[in-house]
Amino acid sequence: MKRIIIQKLKVKGTRGYKYILRCNQCKNKFELGGNNFNKGRGYFCSPKCRGKNKEWQKKISNSLKEGFKKGRIHPKGMSGKIPWNKGKESQRWLKEKNPNWNGGSTFEEYGDEFTKKLKRQIRERDNNICQIKNCKNKIVKKLDVHHIDYNKKNNNQNNLISLCHKHHMKTNFKRDYWKKYFKALNKK
């Protein structure tokens, strides 16, 4: 099957071309950019026409069968196959090997006092504004309530602060810096 080229046009201001072609199925004219032409497209004006063409379906079917035989294509895509990197990266950075590991503190449970009511009180106390200086993030959902000393059992109101989600995620790293930052903020 050949592409039916009617005209090749130079695109002004670029080094590229566009092509006017005729559809192999319905014989209508259509345009195609140079990149798509170079990628081997341009036989049909639409997916609908391509689906109607028996010759094209036979060609694709044969190439798929050939790919299955040679092992290049799996009949169900990737289902049943294990990715080459499965488990390799995760083992390298597991627990203590990860530079951000802090002894598994994320698995600690919160104190009984850390309730929805307490969180609402903290957000209201902070006027529903992220307490990081000059925060310009749009608040889409409720603010997170952060423990300043990173002790989940210490639910004293002086130890809790409202942060937007983006800044709350940042406080998981460089904890010593953030402890000093929030203590200086509380003194003001």
- Where are the chain's structural domains? 4-70, 108-187
Q: Which residues of the chain have pLDDT under 70?
A: 67-93, 100, 104-107, 187-188
pLDDT at residue 61, rounded to an integer: 76
Q: Alpha-carbon distance 162 to 132, whole Å?
A: 9
pLDDT at residue 117, rounded to an integer: 92
pLDDT at residue 188, rounded to an integer: 61
Residue with the two structure tokens 């099957």: 1
pLDDT at residue 5, rounded to an integer: 85
Q: Alpha-carbon distance 90 to 97, whole Å?
A: 10
Per-residue H/E/C for 116-181: HHHHHHHHHHCCCCCCCCCCCCCCCCCCEEEECCCCCCCCCHHHEEEECHHHHHHCCCCHHHHHHH
Longest dimension (CA), the chain: 78
pLDDT at residue 37, rounded to an integer: 76
pLDDT at residue 121, rounded to an integer: 93
Count of C-beta atoms within a 10 Å radius of residue 119: 17
Q: Alpha-carbon distance 80 to 74, whole Å?
A: 9
- pTM of the full predicted structure? 0.47
pLDDT at residue 19, rounded to an integer: 87
